[in-house]
Amino acid sequence: MHELSIAQALAELVRQHRPAGVPVLQVQVQAGPMQAVQPDALELAWKAVTQGTDLAQCRVCVETPPWRLRCPECGRQWNSDELESTCACGQSTAYPVGGDELLLLSMEVGDLPAGQG
Amino acid sequence: MKIQIVENVLKLNDEVAAANRARLAQGRVFTVDLMGAPGAGKTALLEATLKRLPASTRAAVIVGDLATARDGQRLQACCRQVVQVNTGKTCHLEAHHVARALQRLNLDRIDLLIIENVGNLICPVGFDLGQGAKVGLFSVTEGDDKAAKHPFLVRESDLLVLNKVDLLPYVKFDSGVFRRDVARLRPHARLIETSVTTGQGLDLWINWLLGCCATLRTRGRSGGPVAIGRGRPRKTRPARKDAAL
Ligand SMILES: Nc1nc2c(ncn2[C@@H]2O[C@H](COP(=O)(O)OP(=O)(O)O)[C@@H](O)[C@H]2O)c(=O)[nH]1
Ligand SMILES: [Mg+2]
Ligand SMILES: [Zn+2]
């Protein structure tokens, strides 16, 4: 369950970036296929980590791009949901390019509560 | 209002890892992060290694487990500097675990530090500890599809070890399939086949370790960079810094 550790790290990072005083409504995360992150599991872990805290109202939105594969024979590149995928040229030894990113892309913040700021 | 960030989620871990790496470089300690499934033979390989290392290479071990001090106790029989870390609910070591463990070691008296990570093929991979090299340990009893099923571990490992080759006659394991999957994920990967039980391949493994230590010593003396391995290449795109819209 590395989603739990990722959720904890994410909460720390969000707190570092949030402007003081405003509520954080949503954070956008990108997890490449190498990371083997299950969006459902990360959402659940995020709830567990943030409940009862200043981030309890914040949702996490997880983007999981597909594999990017490259054929060593003809150089063609394509996207695939599976790591094992045969190239149009017949080669079946395509290797993944990148895919190991685990990024906090952005956060959506609300207005200052009335009477402040 | 949307705030663009684009930053590695594990940035805070990476910062602690960088501090670990600096401390280890200063102490001229070559550090290996040994990762593999529970039961692959991590502790057994370390026991055999510690018994065979030349006395001139002073070794220390940090061993991570969810619970119990059993591996630490096993290793204490062959090594004077052993730190056991219990991670509780965390299924891998993080840089702060290692930072705390380093406080209990005398780095000036260590040449080689081996970290036995928590038995797990997925979770430890993304967490930089400050090591000089990552080693992925598989064993033939796990099946020949495990490299393909754990691409991140294979891609991040500077060396792969395939253990328990003494059991090849008894299990269905096609070394060709395993090697092909490894080569596809990491084209120039080194793969060493070992059997802790018979001793096969242990000389190759130990020579690899000694070679890393020697490289660190000579580079350190010439004032060059002292980290071996790739540290951690981070694929974080240049952060569009806090561009508030
Ligand atoms: N046959 C055989 N058994 C091994 C070998 N290496 C380790 N083992 C056994 O595998 C089991 C698990 O080993 P251990 O070192 O505790 O694995 P760890 O969980 O990865 O630390 C033990 O019973 C070891 O004796 C090997 O090369 N061959
Ligand atoms: Mg062990
Ligand atoms: Zn092709």
Q: What is the pLDDT of residue A113?
A: 74
0.85 surpassed by complex ipTM: yes
Q: Is any atom of ligand 1 closer than 6 Å to the C-beta of B164? A: yes
Q: What is the pLDDT of residue B242?
A: 37
Distance CA A10, CA A43 (A): 12
Which residue, by CA, sits nearest to atom 23 of ligand 1?
B39
The residue segments making up the domain with residue A99 are 3-15+23-109
Return the best residue to mutate from B50, B92, B139, B142 for the ligand 1 pocket (most ligand atoms within 8 A of CB). Answer: B139
In a domain, A116, yes or no: no
In a domain, A41, yes or no: yes
Total CB pairs under 8 A between chain A and B? 97
Q: What is the pLDDT of residue B237?
A: 45
Q: What is the pLDDT of residue B244?
A: 36
In a domain, A35, yes or no: yes
Q: Is any atom of ligand 1 closer than 6 Å to the C-beta of B36? A: yes
DSSP assignment string, chain B? -EEEEEEETTHHHHHHHHHHHHHHHHTT-EEEEEEE-TTSSHHHHHHHHHHHS-TTS-EEEEEEESS-SHHHHHHHTT-SEEEEEE-TT-SS--HHHHHHHHTTS-GGG-SEEEEE--S-SSGGGG---S-SEEEEEEEGGG-TTHHHH-HHHHHH-SEEEEE-GGGGGGS---HHHHHHHHHHHSTT-EEEE--TTT-TTHHHHHHHHHHHHHHHHHHHHTTS----TT-----PPPP-TT-B-
More confident call, B235 vs B11: B11
In a domain, A97, yes or no: yes
DSSP designation for A14:
H
Mean pLDDT for chain B overall: 90
Q: What is the pLDDT of residue A1?
A: 62
CATH number (domain holding residue A8): 3.30.2320
In a domain, A34, yes or no: yes
Write out chain A residues lying below 8 Å of B87, CB-based: none
Quick check: B7 pLDDT over 70?
A: yes
The residue of chain B with its CA nearest to that of A96 is: B185
In a domain, A56, yes or no: yes
Residues B85-133 have pLDDT tens digits of 998 888 899 999 999 999 999 999 999 999 999 999 999 999 999 999 9
Domain boundary assignment for chain B: 2-222
In a domain, A31, yes or no: yes
Q: Do B152 and A106 touch (CB under 8 A)?
A: no
Which residue, by CA, sits nearest to atom 6 of ligand 1?
B41
Residue A58 C-alpha to ligand 2 middle, in angstroms? 39
Write out chain A residues lying below 8 Å of B13, CB-based: 9
Q: Is any atom of ligand 1 closer than 6 Å to the C-beta of B168? A: no
In a domain, A85, yes or no: yes
Q: How many domains does chain A have?
A: 1
Q: Which residues surround ligand 2, an ion (CB under 5 A)?
A: B 42-43, 71
**The CATH number, out of the four listed (3.50.50.60, 3.40.50.2030, 3.40.50.300, 3.40.50.720), of the domain defined by the range B2-222:** 3.40.50.300
Quick check: B231 pLDDT over 80?
A: no
Q: pTM score, two decimals?
A: 0.91
DSSP assignment string, B114-170? EEE--S-SSGGGG---S-SEEEEEEEGGG-TTHHHH-HHHHHH-SEEEEE-GGGGGG
Q: What is the pLDDT of residue B218?
A: 84
Q: Is any atom of ligand 1 closer than 6 Å to the C-beta of B46? A: no
Q: What share of chain B in percent tops pLDDT 70? A: 89
Q: Do B148 and A84 touch (CB under 8 A)?
A: yes
Residue B157 C-alpha to ligand 3 middle, in angstroms? 27
Q: Which of A2, A95, A110 lies closest to B184 in CB terms?
A: A95
Residues B164-186 have pLDDT tens digits of 999 999 999 999 999 999 999 99
Residue of B9, B120, B129 to mutate, testing the A interface (most A Cβ within 10 Å of its Cβ): B9
